[in-house]
Structure 1
Amino acid sequence: MQLYSRFLRPVLFRLGSGDAEVAHHRTIDALRLVGAAPGASTLRRLFAEDAPRTVFGLRFPNPVGLAAGMDKNGVALPGWAALGFGHVEVGTVTWHAQPGNPRPRLYRLPASQALINRMGFNNDGARALAARLRTAPVLPMPLGISIGKSKITPVENAVADYRASLVELYPYGDYFAVNVSSPNTPGLRGLQDRGLLDELLAELTGEATRLAYRGVPKPILVKIAPDLDDAAIGEVIEVCATRSVAGIIATNTTLSRDGLAPADVATGAEQGGLSGRPLARRALEVVSFVHRESAGTLPVIGVGGIGAPEDAVRLMDAGASLVQVYTGFIYAGPGLVRGISRAVRATGAAPGDR
């Protein structure tokens, strides 16, 4: 991690005159080339660390996943595999292709090891992702697909919008994350309300059962916002239990600006969701609450504030079965993935296979 932070990260952070989105796209392009190279499988043997576990019926080679948002269109999947991830979640993808919000829309807050984004679900659309995954190589780890509502779709038509994406992408994902918690699509977070969420999940879990025919439906997970209070999270848990949802991803980005370093306060005024180190405490609280309130029956993927192996261990000790990284990966580099797996294996963190 020191090699990355001393040499590679400063180069990446200077690309595009400091435009974080330029560095993002250059990283994806580089990983796409890495994944296509003949030695990609050898590289995985260097980076990967075995710490296997089974969660919601899927076998993960280690507990560390790449969070949605990094590779929205699934263009660099073998590259992420080469870096040793235990799973990758692509998207968030919407039924309709959309450009997202105007740039600039991604900001670094280095003193806080954080990011603010208001990307707005920029992606090529569910049909384009399905076409790409149709010819993608077999991955050595599970693939998750995060689905969200298209911006042009009214909230009252959201169920049909989500369902169309699920049907199109169902053959290619190992699990599906229902994103109802991004702060950057108008009206989206309202889908976390009990009535709307129940309607949405009833349709999606029912559709997954129909698509599975007589087999076992692929897992449906729900990604929630850290800004919900305990009562609202409790309602989400109840709906998930009623609709046989396989797990919860906790958490998405936050609208709060608590915990920012003084040097980042000015940039922190930008609109969008905050991720990274300032989210660590809240993510830990939400993971612990979901694990406790569900009596450990609802697997949790912990996301938020993971910048070092010990952060992931704390989330797993609090009840997370798996973790995902995004912002921490940007600041700490690929060594973070192996470091977390080693720490988890050494400490025996996490409540075990689910």
Structure 2
Amino acid sequence: MPDWSYHAIFRPLLFRLPGRIARNWTLHAIGGLSRIPGGTFVIKTMGHMELSPVLEDQLAGVPIACPIGLSSSLDPHGTAHKALAQFGIGFIELGPVTVRAVHSDAPITRIAEEEAIVYPDGYANDGADAIVARLRKGTGHRLPHFVRLTPMPGSSPREALLQQQELLEKLAPYAAGFYIDGLAEGWPSEEVLAYLDEVRQLGQAAAEGKPLLLYVPQQYPIGMLRELVDTAAAGYSGVVVGEAQRDAGTRSMRVGGAEALAAQLERVRLLREALGEASSIVAAGGVHQPQDALELLAAGANSVQLHSGLVYAGPGLPKRINEAIIYDRIQHTEEQIPPSFWANWGWMNLLGIGMMVGGVLAWLIASTTVLLPYDETFLGVSRSVINRFNGHIIHFMSHDRITLAGTMISIGIFYSQLARHGLRSGLHWARTAVITSCAVGFSSFFLYLGYGYFDPLHATVAAILLPMLLLTMRGLKDYPSRKPPGLLNDAVWRRAQWGQCCFVVLGCGLAIGGLTISFVGITNVFVDTDLVYIGLTAEQLAAWNNQLIPLIAHDRAGFGGALFSLAVAITASALWGVGQGESWLWWTFLWGGLPGFTAGLLIHFHIGYMDFIHLLPVYIAVMLYGIGLYLLYPFLVSSAGKYARVTRTNEQF
């Protein structure tokens, strides 16, 4: 469930349910999807999170693909870890892990106005044995686990030490590192220091070579934290600033809220100043938008962990943070020289222009003669003879061919724009969109042969354009985007989620329409409303001229294939390309949609084929198209102007 579907569809529904039920349903749904064949591919396809080498880092000596972790409390049973691992995270926290299970069925409360979550028991977990059994069975992903070892509630320091020893021995084979918890138990400071020193020695013996990070509760007093840093923290590989505010009386914990980020920033700055650069610092809470993560990293954190931010901002938050980190890291590096026109992207640009030219020519022919000489040769009759038999047949064929022409022009616009702004800049999603759409489009050529009619013009066009696709695929390379990403969960961003949803639904709807038209074209050829418009049955048409239906089938199958190819380009662009300030994509949606919709509507009005049911999908598509453009404009276009003004201002200084 990417952000556009989460905010437009799922979040309004889930937030009507009790917190625990909503969490369980969500985790079981995405976890179940990840466990079926092809499930993780679907999750990756919807989010398209490609982790760049720019993001690679280390956490206390452990290699991680990106500096974003997943908080354990979000999915305490590991139900959806395999799915969540595809969201663009670099490591997963497990914990709190206690020697025995701690269960709680009390309600989980959301405080939506503060973007906070209150859990009834901050110690709740399945217990060490159950977690070890789960890890032994396999998690379905390769991300490193950092395990938070926590004493049983109410334990004394001596009891806690024995428990930590047992936990270390059981979990050492499966953990990349450990978070050592226990500072929330309320022990006297001298006992805390002795406990931490002994746990460190136990860890070095039981989990040799694996880092130990000190887990500090979010509400830990600053004065005590300074004392802790001066005495015990130096022996650890780093410090984790906890995500929650715990209530010692009730054992409940509160995650998120307006004060969480400020508390994290204050403690991260203090720790970095005191510990220097050698120690790792994890900020485990307070991140609800990319700007929050950048602030924590700038303050000295090596990595951040996500929890309540995923609930309120949506599952696309890791991807958005990664894009912000990439931009932050590369904006001052030397810009990559774009490839020359003839290297690869220029050929796709030419392919797009060729599609536009071909579409215009096809439109002119379809709106005048309709039939080409080889069409009449195949039929054995002229256009005038067909008109004397039934005046609607030529109009019906014109309807198919003009809609195909409009679709070709739309495809050409998308290909040309994706080449100029996507392939040229090395955007991985643009390459995937173009190549997938082209593969579908060229493969659909074989649908023309479904009824035995070979169209030499289509074959010639395909033969000219196919080498351009092959030349495009030479030497394509991926580069990170150098455009500033959106950093805030503001009203413009939230509005854009609805606009993105409109275009994704539009693309999927066009894909279904294209497949349906292609299937009808190579099977029944006509739907009922077609025959009502023509005024004849399929049998009557075949009886008059047995070559007529194969010719019409060729047109229908070709249009269906082209529509599906366009749908792939639209869907991929809407899924992966919508980013703040990407004005070119909005103009691509606008100009790329106009020829197809104009052709589809005008030809129906012109020939009088106005059956409401037949045109209902077109009306719905036009509605989604218009609403989507309206909702996306501030995010894609207005933001581009804002960034341009900011850049010019910075350059003046």
Calculate the TM-score normalised by the size of structure 1.
0.83
Q: Deviations over 1:176-211 (max 9, x none)?
A: 112225xxxxxx4325x5433333333332223223
Are residue 49 (structure 1) and residue 51 (structure 2) matched? yes
Q: 1:66 aligns with which of 65, 70, 77?
A: 70
Q: Deviations over 1:244-281 (max 9, x none)?
A: 2111111331259xxxxxxxxxxxxx983322141111
Task: Give the C-alpha shift of residue 169 in structure 1.
Answer: 0.9
Task: Give the C-alpha shift of residue 309 in structure 1.
Answer: 0.4
Q: 1:275 aligns with which of 250, 255, 260?
A: 255
Q: 1:107 to 1:87 in 2, by over 3 A?
A: same
Task: Give the C-alpha shift of residue 69 in structure 1.
Answer: 1.0
Structure 1 residue identity aligned to 2:165: R
Q: 2:289 aligns with which of 301, 308, 312?
A: 308
Are residue 31 (structure 1) and residue 30 (structure 2) matched? yes
> Which range is displaced more, 110-119 or 31-40?
31-40
Mapped to 2, the partners of 1:271 and 1:133 lie a distance apart of: 27
Mapped to 1, the partners of 2:233 and 2:220 lie a distance apart of: 18
Contact 2:121/2:253 (<8 A) preserved: no
Q: How many equivalent residue pairs?
A: 320
Q: Secondary structure at the match of 1:149?
A: coil
Q: Deviations over 1:89-137 (max 9, x none)?
A: 122111011214x612x21111111112232422221011101101114
Task: Give the C-alpha shift of residue 138 in structure 1.
Answer: 5.8
Are residue 123 (structure 1) and residue 128 (structure 2) matched? no
Q: Secondary structure at the match of 2:245?
A: coil
Q: Deviations over 1:198-234 (max 9, x none)?
A: 333333322232234xxx5211112212222322111
Q: 1:292 aligns with which of 248, 273, 276?
A: 273
1:176 counterpart residue number: 178
Q: 2:224 aligns with which of 221, 226, 232?
A: 232
2:101 counterpart residue number: 97
Are residue 204 (structure 1) and residue 196 (structure 2) matched? no
Contact 2:27/2:75 (<8 A) preserved: yes
* Residue ranges of structure 2 left out of the alignment (5+ in a row): 331-653
Structure 2 residue identity aligned to 1:323: V
Q: Secondary structure at the match of 2:215?
A: strand
Mapped to 2, the partners of 1:92 and 1:281 lie a distance apart of: 24
Mapped to 1, the partners of 2:122 and 2:22 lie a distance apart of: 18
Tell me the C-alpha RMSD between the 2 structures: 2.3
Q: Secondary structure at the match of 1:47?
A: coil
Q: 2:238 aligns with which of 223, 231, 247?
A: 247
Q: 1:73 to 1:178 in 2, by over 3 A?
A: farther
* Residue ranges of structure 1 left out of the alignment (5+ in a row): 182-187, 257-269, 350-354
Contact 1:48/1:85 (<8 A) preserved: no
Task: Give the C-alpha shift of residue 40 in structure 1.
Answer: 4.5
Q: Deviations over 1:53-111 (max 9, x none)?
A: 112111111111111212223343212212222111122111011214x612x211111
Mapped to 2, the partners of 1:57 and 1:31 lie a distance apart of: 31
Task: Give the C-alpha shift of residue 37 in structure 1.
Answer: 2.5
Fraction of identical pairs, as percent: 25
Mapped to 2, the partners of 1:74 and 1:167 lie a distance apart of: 21
Calculate the TM-score normalised by the size of structure 2.
0.46
Mapped to 2, the partners of 1:320 and 1:5 lie a distance apart of: 29
1:139 counterpart residue number: 141
Contact 2:233/2:239 (<8 A) preserved: no
> Which range is displaced more, 43-52 or 29-38?
43-52
Task: Give the C-alpha shift of residue 348 in structure 1.
Answer: 2.5
Mapped to 2, the partners of 1:309 and 1:325 lie a distance apart of: 11
Contact 1:73/1:91 (<8 A) preserved: no
2:489 counterpart residue number: none
